[in-house]
Structure 1
Amino acid sequence: MSAEVMDAPPQLVPLNAIFSTDFVEILVPVTTANTMDEVAAAVADHVEGKRVRAQPFRKVVVHRGRKLPGEMTVAEAGFAPLDHVAVEYDLEVPA
Protein backbone atom coordinates (compact mmCIF):
# COMPACT_ATOMS: atom_id res chain seq x y z
CA MET A 1 0.00 0.00 0.00
CA SER A 2 1.38 3.41 -0.93
CA ALA A 3 2.47 5.99 1.64
CA GLU A 4 -0.19 8.42 0.36
CA VAL A 5 -2.95 5.93 1.09
CA MET A 6 -1.51 5.11 4.51
CA ASP A 7 -1.28 8.83 5.43
CA ALA A 8 -4.77 9.74 4.16
CA PRO A 9 -7.40 10.49 6.80
CA PRO A 10 -9.96 7.71 7.33
CA GLN A 11 -12.74 7.68 4.74
CA LEU A 12 -16.32 6.54 5.26
CA VAL A 13 -17.14 3.19 3.64
CA PRO A 14 -20.76 2.08 4.02
CA LEU A 15 -21.03 -1.72 3.81
CA ASN A 16 -23.97 -4.02 3.20
CA ALA A 17 -23.74 -6.64 5.91
CA ILE A 18 -25.52 -9.68 7.21
CA PHE A 19 -24.88 -11.26 10.59
CA SER A 20 -24.74 -15.00 11.12
CA THR A 21 -28.24 -16.49 10.80
CA ASP A 22 -30.04 -13.14 10.59
CA PHE A 23 -32.46 -12.63 7.72
CA VAL A 24 -32.03 -8.85 7.41
CA GLU A 25 -29.21 -7.21 5.49
CA ILE A 26 -28.13 -3.93 7.09
CA LEU A 27 -26.11 -0.92 6.01
CA VAL A 28 -23.19 -0.33 8.38
CA PRO A 29 -20.96 2.75 8.23
CA VAL A 30 -17.28 1.99 8.86
CA THR A 31 -14.08 3.81 7.98
CA THR A 32 -10.99 2.76 6.10
CA ALA A 33 -9.13 2.74 9.44
CA ASN A 34 -11.47 0.22 11.13
CA THR A 35 -10.16 -3.31 11.64
CA MET A 36 -12.16 -6.41 10.76
CA ASP A 37 -12.68 -7.00 14.50
CA GLU A 38 -14.25 -3.52 14.71
CA VAL A 39 -16.35 -4.13 11.60
CA ALA A 40 -17.61 -7.41 13.08
CA ALA A 41 -18.49 -5.65 16.34
CA ALA A 42 -20.30 -2.85 14.48
CA VAL A 43 -22.41 -5.33 12.53
CA ALA A 44 -23.10 -7.48 15.60
CA ASP A 45 -24.19 -4.42 17.61
CA HIS A 46 -27.27 -4.06 15.40
CA VAL A 47 -28.30 -7.72 15.52
CA GLU A 48 -26.74 -9.83 18.26
CA GLY A 49 -29.07 -10.28 21.19
CA LYS A 50 -31.92 -8.73 19.20
CA ARG A 51 -32.67 -11.05 16.27
CA VAL A 52 -29.79 -13.51 16.71
CA ARG A 53 -28.89 -15.13 20.02
CA ALA A 54 -25.42 -14.13 21.24
CA GLN A 55 -22.83 -16.90 21.16
CA PRO A 56 -19.53 -17.11 23.11
CA PHE A 57 -17.41 -17.25 19.97
CA ARG A 58 -15.15 -14.81 18.18
CA LYS A 59 -16.74 -13.06 15.22
CA VAL A 60 -15.10 -12.97 11.79
CA VAL A 61 -15.77 -10.94 8.66
CA VAL A 62 -16.22 -12.95 5.46
CA HIS A 63 -15.79 -11.17 2.14
CA ARG A 64 -16.06 -12.97 -1.20
CA GLY A 65 -15.80 -16.35 0.52
CA ARG A 66 -12.68 -15.67 2.59
CA LYS A 67 -12.34 -15.04 6.31
CA LEU A 68 -10.35 -11.87 6.92
CA PRO A 69 -7.83 -11.47 9.77
CA GLY A 70 -9.15 -9.44 12.70
CA GLU A 71 -6.29 -6.93 12.54
CA MET A 72 -6.73 -6.21 8.81
CA THR A 73 -8.16 -2.75 8.10
CA VAL A 74 -10.96 -1.89 5.71
CA ALA A 75 -8.40 -0.09 3.53
CA GLU A 76 -6.13 -3.16 3.45
CA ALA A 77 -9.09 -5.37 2.54
CA GLY A 78 -9.88 -3.07 -0.37
CA PHE A 79 -13.56 -2.71 0.46
CA ALA A 80 -15.53 -0.38 -1.79
CA PRO A 81 -18.71 1.43 -0.73
CA LEU A 82 -21.69 -0.93 -0.58
CA ASP A 83 -19.58 -4.09 -0.78
CA HIS A 84 -21.28 -7.07 0.85
CA VAL A 85 -19.78 -8.72 3.94
CA ALA A 86 -21.01 -11.42 6.25
CA VAL A 87 -20.14 -11.68 9.91
CA GLU A 88 -20.06 -15.21 11.23
CA TYR A 89 -19.17 -16.86 14.50
CA ASP A 90 -15.82 -18.61 14.30
CA LEU A 91 -16.87 -21.88 15.88
CA GLU A 92 -13.30 -23.17 15.91
CA VAL A 93 -11.85 -20.53 18.26
CA PRO A 94 -13.45 -19.51 21.59
CA ALA A 95 -13.67 -15.75 22.28
Structure 2
Amino acid sequence: MTHATGADTARPAPAVVPLNAVFADDFVQILVAVTSDNTAAEVAEAVAHHVEGKRVRALPYPKVVFHNGRRLAPGTTVTEAGMQPLDHVRVEYDIPEGAA
Protein backbone atom coordinates (compact mmCIF):
# COMPACT_ATOMS: atom_id res chain seq x y z
CA MET A 1 0.00 0.00 0.00
CA THR A 2 1.32 3.44 -0.88
CA HIS A 3 0.46 6.67 0.83
CA ALA A 4 0.08 9.90 -1.09
CA THR A 5 2.29 12.77 -0.07
CA GLY A 6 2.40 16.36 -1.23
CA ALA A 7 5.05 15.38 -3.79
CA ASP A 8 2.75 12.74 -5.31
CA THR A 9 0.20 15.19 -6.69
CA ALA A 10 -1.17 13.89 -9.97
CA ARG A 11 -1.14 16.12 -12.98
CA PRO A 12 -4.61 16.56 -14.48
CA ALA A 13 -5.35 14.72 -17.70
CA PRO A 14 -5.08 16.82 -20.86
CA ALA A 15 -8.35 18.52 -21.78
CA VAL A 16 -9.80 18.61 -25.28
CA VAL A 17 -9.66 22.13 -26.71
CA PRO A 18 -11.64 22.68 -29.93
CA LEU A 19 -10.10 25.47 -32.01
CA ASN A 20 -11.36 27.40 -35.03
CA ALA A 21 -8.55 27.33 -37.56
CA VAL A 22 -7.55 28.55 -40.99
CA PHE A 23 -4.65 27.03 -42.90
CA ALA A 24 -2.48 29.18 -45.20
CA ASP A 25 -4.63 30.67 -47.96
CA ASP A 26 -7.55 28.26 -47.51
CA PHE A 27 -10.97 29.89 -47.73
CA VAL A 28 -12.60 27.54 -45.19
CA GLN A 29 -12.41 27.86 -41.42
CA ILE A 30 -12.38 24.45 -39.74
CA LEU A 31 -12.95 23.17 -36.22
CA VAL A 32 -10.01 21.11 -34.97
CA ALA A 33 -9.88 19.26 -31.65
CA VAL A 34 -6.49 19.34 -29.93
CA THR A 35 -5.50 18.79 -26.30
CA SER A 36 -4.23 21.24 -23.74
CA ASP A 37 -0.85 19.45 -23.82
CA ASN A 38 -0.41 19.61 -27.61
CA THR A 39 2.42 21.83 -28.81
CA ALA A 40 2.05 24.53 -31.45
CA ALA A 41 3.87 22.21 -33.88
CA GLU A 42 1.28 19.49 -33.18
CA VAL A 43 -1.58 21.98 -33.58
CA ALA A 44 -0.13 23.05 -36.94
CA GLU A 45 -0.02 19.44 -38.12
CA ALA A 46 -3.57 18.77 -36.87
CA VAL A 47 -4.88 21.75 -38.82
CA ALA A 48 -2.82 20.96 -41.93
CA HIS A 49 -4.05 17.36 -41.95
CA HIS A 50 -7.52 18.52 -43.03
CA VAL A 51 -6.41 20.96 -45.73
CA GLU A 52 -2.86 20.43 -46.99
CA GLY A 53 -2.81 18.65 -50.33
CA LYS A 54 -6.61 18.93 -50.55
CA ARG A 55 -7.55 22.62 -50.86
CA VAL A 56 -4.06 24.06 -50.34
CA ARG A 57 -0.98 22.86 -52.19
CA ALA A 58 1.52 21.19 -49.84
CA LEU A 59 4.83 23.03 -49.56
CA PRO A 60 8.13 21.72 -48.14
CA TYR A 61 8.37 24.30 -45.35
CA PRO A 62 7.75 24.19 -41.60
CA LYS A 63 4.38 25.36 -40.35
CA VAL A 64 3.81 28.02 -37.70
CA VAL A 65 0.78 28.85 -35.55
CA PHE A 66 -0.51 32.36 -34.86
CA HIS A 67 -2.85 32.97 -31.93
CA ASN A 68 -4.12 36.40 -30.90
CA GLY A 69 -1.62 38.02 -33.27
CA ARG A 70 1.37 36.19 -31.77
CA ARG A 71 3.58 33.71 -33.55
CA LEU A 72 3.95 30.74 -31.22
CA ALA A 73 7.22 28.90 -30.69
CA PRO A 74 6.86 25.27 -31.90
CA GLY A 75 7.21 23.84 -28.37
CA THR A 76 4.62 26.11 -26.75
CA THR A 77 1.66 24.09 -25.47
CA VAL A 78 -1.97 25.04 -25.95
CA THR A 79 -2.16 25.77 -22.21
CA GLU A 80 1.01 27.90 -22.21
CA ALA A 81 -0.32 29.91 -25.15
CA GLY A 82 -3.56 30.58 -23.26
CA MET A 83 -5.75 29.02 -25.95
CA GLN A 84 -9.36 28.56 -24.93
CA PRO A 85 -12.13 26.51 -26.58
CA LEU A 86 -13.23 28.02 -29.89
CA ASP A 87 -10.31 30.47 -30.08
CA HIS A 88 -9.12 31.24 -33.59
CA VAL A 89 -5.68 30.15 -34.81
CA ARG A 90 -4.00 30.63 -38.16
CA VAL A 91 -1.43 28.20 -39.52
CA GLU A 92 1.01 29.42 -42.16
CA TYR A 93 4.06 28.07 -43.92
CA ASP A 94 7.32 29.53 -42.64
CA ILE A 95 8.73 30.33 -46.07
CA PRO A 96 12.27 31.75 -45.99
CA GLU A 97 12.72 35.12 -47.67
CA GLY A 98 13.45 34.72 -51.36
CA ALA A 99 12.28 31.09 -51.47
CA ALA A 100 8.82 31.70 -52.89
Would you say same fold, with TM above 0.5? yes
Query: Rg larger in 1 or in 2?
Result: 2
CA RMSD of aligned residues (A): 1.7
Q: Given the alignment, which residue of 85, 88, 92 partners 1:88?
A: 92
Structure 1 runs of 4+ with >4 Å offset: none
Provide Cα deviations, 1:26-65, integer angstroms capped at 9, x if missing partner: 0000000100000000000000000000001100000111
Give how far 1:9 is off.
0.9
- 2:27 is aligned with 1:23: yes
Higher helix share: 1
Partner of 1:58: 62
- TM-score with structure 2 length normalisation? 0.85
SS in 2 for 1:91: coil
Match of 1:14 among 13, 18, 38: 18
State the number of aligned residues: 89
What runs of 5+ residues in structure 1 fail to find an aligned partner?
1-5
Structure 2 counterpart of 1:46, which letter?
A: H
Unpaired stretches in structure 2, ≥5 consecutive residues: 1-9
TM-score by length of 1: 0.89
